[in-house]
Amino acid sequence: MIKKWVFILGSIVLGVTSIYANPVVDGITKPVIPSEGIGIELPELPKRDTEDELETGWRLEKNYTAFLESKLNVFVPLEILSDIDINAVVIDDEELNVPFELEMNKEPERKDYYKLKYSETEIDIDNDGQIDTFIYSPKYINQRVIKDNYVLIKGKNISKDGDYYKKIYITIEVDE
């Protein structure tokens, strides 16, 4: 019972405040727009005397055309696009030199500024304690496709036969 009375009183309060917030002119609720400091004069609502006046609606007093121009400064970071899979078969004490290429999404805008950073460059592929695989790349990224990269595998340091897999992550860092 109390909830019902609270609901009724709340509805009455909301109804009264909405009536006084937006005054009614000629049966039409006219929104209150502050015109101080804006310099906009709002025209009166059309009169509802005759059917012809009702169809004409508001009369356009001024017409403005505004052209806006927007400029965006979009920065696309330098990214590595290519994934590299190196498959090699090493026999005995053989040394393999396996070249590979890296492709970037764009050519760097600054020369001698961006570097490649590998998660590891000296790798013990068979986990016997001797480093047997080395990754070499140029110091800086100055072109879109980097061709002077290679992996050097020294077979004399690999003591265990088998198939070995290693995942190396490459990131780009800034030389500062």
Q: Is residue 37 predicted with pLDDT exceeding 60?
A: no
Buried b vs exposed e over 34-61: b needs ≥16 C-beta within 10 Å? eeeeeeeeeeeeeeeeeeeeeeeeeeee
Residue in 78, 77, 96 with CA at minimum distance from that of residue 87: 96
Number of domains in the chain: 2
Q: Is residue 19 predicted with pLDDT exceeding 80?
A: no
**What is the percent of the chain where pLDDT is above 90?**
31
Sign of the Cα torsion 118, 119, 123, 129 reads: positive
Rounded to two decimals, what is the model's pTM? Answer: 0.56
Residue 71 lies in a domain: no
Domain that holds residue 132: 95-174
For residues 99 and 165, membership in a common domain is answered with yes
